[in-house]
Amino acid sequence: MARSIVPPYLLARLATADAERFPAATAAARRTLRMDAPRKAARLTLSVDGDSLVAELSDAPDREVSDAGGREVLPGRVVRREGQEPSGDVAADEAYDGLGATFDLFSEVFGRNSIDDAGLPLRATVHYGRLYDNAFWDGERMVFGDGDGEVFQRFTRSLSVIGHELAHGVTQFSSGLEYHDQPGALNESISDVFGALVEQYARRQTTAEASWLVGEGLFTPAVEGRALRSMREPGTAYDDDVLGKDPQPAHLDDYITTRDDDGGVHLNSGIPNRAFVLAADALGGHAWERAGVIWYDTLTGGLNPAVDFAGFAAATARAAAARYGEVSAEVDAVRAGWDGVGVTIDGGRA
């Protein structure tokens, strides 16, 4: 049994202190409580009931980061496990922190125990391949390339990318949305939504403060662009001589019908992305508190894997009404968000 000089109840108290007055101390206390917990054992969830501090036990992350060493073989050599000190490899440590930040959002906001809601270990591999310009979720782990150094930098630089890819796992284990055409665009959009929320939750940003950019920081300075996608303003993320102009539509009137990209899943995801931002903006505050909860309830509420935009929009309105009431600001915000991108709530394939 571990013995520590600072008792856990003092750390628990400090973890609930005024974060504005003691930002470093509260953050350090929370981190220490987590690090002190055994691997795959319990973590403290803290709340205040009147004058009493209430500490409840919840699941902790179980992370493992491996290094592929430039090969295209998974998983690679393990370089950092849960609770270990930083490895000194920037990519490995960014991946480790990103896995933790994603776990925190889903655990602390939505009450979900890891990606599958059953304590799935979070695994990642960095330095995958040579000059590999991508990151992906392979159904079991996150895999990151290092980029090419001319257009793309290492893919662990972006917390929204890490959250995005892990959110594909949440979709995999909850609704199994098909990956083509409109359900595929929704699949991509849901990952963008939760990827953005992972970043915002880690930074404690309001919807107004957030960039709503997915993949910010991935481009080198040589590229005329801010990110891979803009959720607030689809079609504006980049305009570069080499990459061309961001082709994402922001409204259903401009929906792209194509056989490429599995029916345009990365293109048309801009439409539901903007709907979410409009809803979050209308509600204000932190997007994960209401808009994010509505989207999470929708994703985990028995969604048809073949749902189209209109059907998904209707499902979000029902989720908002179920949680907040038929007549509520939340329902109004959701409906206005979809109206803003030209998606009719009634009559979709739900």
Closest to 225 measured CA to CA, from 209, 205, 248: 248
Catalytic position from the list 127, 164, 168, 266: 266
What three-state secondary structure class fits 125?
strand
* 52 strand-pairing partners: 49
The active-site residue out of 82, 165, 188, 199 is 165
Name the residue among 60, 64, 65, 204 with its Cα closest to residue 127: 65
Q: Are 133 and 151 in contact (CB under 8 A)?
A: yes
- Per the CB < 8 A criterion, the answer to whether 278 and 284 are in contact is no
Distance, CA of 222 to CA of 64 (rounded, Å): 33
Task: State residue 219 phi and psi, 5-degree precision.
Answer: -75, 145
Locate all alpha helices (DSSP H) within the chain, ordered by sequence. 8-15, 23-36, 90-104, 159-174, 181-203, 261-268, 270-283, 291-299, 309-324, 329-339
Q: Decide if 266 is catalytic.
A: yes
Asked if 164 is an active-site residue, the reply is: no
For the annotated catalytic residues, the residue numbers are 165, 266
